[in-house]
Structure 1
């Protein structure tokens, strides 16, 4: 049963979300402050986080930033603020989705299902693979080169995990957007190119010849490994 961490200071909303998530087969855990949320996040290892922006002790965007420093766990922002600037701040900060209050609990559950469907490897994968001096831990969502942890943004990490699970297969930009970021992604498909570029830069010390993220002109991208 997957754990969902609900970070919400309004007791009524938190209780209702927990009830609907439990009914949908999840194990909800609740936190009402940023400090409590960080402690719960470390101890519970949730599959997904529902994060309210307005918390009594810590701004939700700051909490988002702190979580992203240690994890690429999927995060859905919840907020009474619906200004485009707030939405962009949340999404640019690494959130996977953004929902404005008031919302229907059934839609929140549907969004949770959708995010976890397109990113099942965050919790379902329990393995550690070696590719030369590159190590990908699918369980801890960590990437190491020469034993040192590589800091990747959520989009770059999600792309790497997706491609590394399917070595040798070629995917177009459109397929990567659909499979990794979801059909509700509304940015340019050129964002895939930018994420691939950043990923290659982050893996610049990966042993030459062990493997690479290849561009097949007119076809797409693949995670290539030396035979």
Structure 2
């Protein structure tokens, strides 16, 4: 039984979400404050988080951003803010889906099932790498192509996984800083460029036929998902 965490400060809505998800066969935990949810997630690992954007204590964007520094846990963000910029920000920091209030509770259940299916398929595919596929290992900080492997730093692993999760999406240097560093105040654009340069060199050593990280002039960097 999949375990769903609902982080929602509107108690009535949270109760309805919990009831619908339980009827659909999920185990559900409800937390009403963002700071309490962040603490809970440090000790627990649900299968998916339904995360409201505007929360007391700590907002949903910060929670999602912190999660993405160490976890691929699926996240569906919910919010009453419908501006396009908010929708893009939510997805750029790693949310898997987005629902604008008011939304159908049946749609919520459908979205939860769809995201869990995609996540399960992705995990299964990564556990059975094919020849010609770049494989990233977080546990021993390595990247391998076929039988060739290269050692990465922790920051390089974070950087590579951030870009790879959103192939062909352009990431600005600021977005990269926010995505891989705990404290962006001590990091400059030149630091990002230096990490990109070193990471590229390492990847080219194990697969010189493919340029995984591409520069986009005046915009940033993106991951080329077309693997040989």
**What is the TM-score normalised by the length of structure 1?**
0.63
Distance 1:67 1:193 in 2: 20
Secondary structure, aligned partner of 1:76: strand
Alignment of 1:36 onto 2:36:
yes
Q: Secondary structure at 1:205's aligned position in 2?
A: helix
CA deviation after TM superposition for structure 1 residue 126, in Å: 10
Figure out how many residues of one structure are paired with residues of the other and give that number: 178
CA-to-aligned-CA distance 1:107-131 (integer Å, 9 cap, x gap): 01111111122221576689699x9
Q: Which has the higher helix share?
A: 2
Where do 5+ consecutive residues of structure 1 fail to align? 160-190
1:74 aligns with 2:74: yes
Asked whether the 8 Å contact 1:47–1:123 carries over to 2, the reply is: no
Task: Return closer, same or farther for 1:17/1:204 CA change in 2, 3 Å cut-off.
Answer: farther
CA contact (8 A) 1:51 1:77 kept: yes
TM-score by length of 2: 0.63
Name the structure 2 match of 1:117.
Answer: 117
Moved over 2 A (4+): 121-129, 134-137, 145-149, 152-159, 191-195, 200-209, 211-215
1:221 corresponds to which residue?
Answer: 226
Query: 1:49 and 1:154 mapped to 2: Cα distance?
Result: 20
> How big is the alpha-carbon RMSD for the aligned residues of Structure 1 and Structure 2?
3.5
Aligned equivalents of 1:116, 1:143: Cα separation in 2: 26
